[in-house]
Chains A and B, each alone.
Chain A
Amino acid sequence: GEDVEQSLFLSVREGDSSVINCTYTDSSSTYLYWYKQEPGAGLQLLTYIFSNMDMKQDQRLTVLLNKKDKHLSLRIADTQTGDSAIYFCAERTDKLIFGTGTRLQVFP
């Protein structure tokens, strides 16, 4: 069945890079997404990658897709305290399937 998995927590020092990982099971995914949820707020679409791409870069964000291993990652360069949030990956087949979310904590 469809399943999207993420580790629950990640803690990084301010200025370092963060890498949030995600694995999914459905090889028919067309798009894969990264959403950010700040405390007390809804989800905000950060970036997405089409399934025939390997990499997408958008300012401090780099998305890597390994379709063979069904592995998606989000790298945040020069992580700031404002990046502290929960990050969800999601895959799209006929609907969106969300992962459990990774809570990123940035400490000074």
Chain B
Amino acid sequence: DVKVTQSSRYLVKRTGEKVFLECVQDMDHENMFWYRQDPGLGLRLIYFSYDVKMKEKGDIPEGYSVSREKKERFSLILESASTNQTSMYLCASSLGRTSGGRGQYFGPGTRLTVT
């Protein structure tokens, strides 16, 4: 069965802290994605990666960075957390660029609160 896991379901951090969100998929997917979900705004793409050591900016990359050292793992890094980064963070993966109808598979999400 397809599995995308995220390291934490809930996380509380202080302003200015460095935050790591980890995502692991066991489906040998090429593509991995980080989104944030906010009420009334839907999902917004932060960063994505089509291969190991590759990364592309999404729609809202400011304040975030990513790392993909291994195919199965995609990390989202908040260098200095701020209160406006309080959100639900969703990781997803998919097969190669031509995966078409198979869509993306999502992890359960990490609800991050920055105080």
To the question of whether A and B form a pair in one complex, the answer is: yes
> Cβ of A43 and Cβ of B101 under 8 Å apart?
no
- Chain A interface mostly: strand
Measured in the bound complex, the distance between the Cα atoms of B97 and A61 in whole Å is: 27
Counting chain B residues whose Cβ lies within 8 A of the other chain, the interface size class is 20 to 34
Asked if residues A42 and B90 are in contact (CB atoms below 8 Å), the reply is yes
- Whether A42 contacts B106 in the complex (CB less than 8 A), given A30-B100, A31-B100, A95-B48, comes out as yes
- Interface contact A45-B103, CB-CB below 8 Å: yes
Q: In the complex, which residue of chain A has the Cβ closest to the Cβ of B6?
A: A42
Q: Which residues of B contact A (CB under 8 A)?
A: 4, 35, 40-43, 45, 48, 58, 90, 92, 100-109
Contact B41 A100, beta carbon cutoff 8 Å: yes
A39 → B minimal CB distance (Å): 11
The verdict on A57 contacting chain B, using a C-beta distance below 8 Å, is no
Q: Which residue of chain A lies nearest to B98 when distances are taken between CB atoms in the complex?
A: A30
Q: How far is the CA of A53 from the CA of B79 in the complex (A)?
A: 45
B41, B43, B90, B104: residue with the most chain A Cβ atoms closer than 10 Å: B43
Bound CA–CA A42/B100 (angstroms): 20
Q: Is A44 an interface residue (CB 8 A)?
A: yes
Can you pick out 26 interface pairs between chain A and chain B where the beta carbons lie within 8 Å of each other?
A31-B100, A31-B101, A31-B103, A35-B106, A40-B109, A41-B109, A42-B4, A42-B90, A43-B43, A43-B90, A43-B104, A43-B106, A44-B106, A45-B104, A45-B105, A48-B101, A50-B100, A88-B43, A92-B100, A95-B45, A95-B58, A96-B45, A98-B42, A98-B43, A99-B42, A100-B40
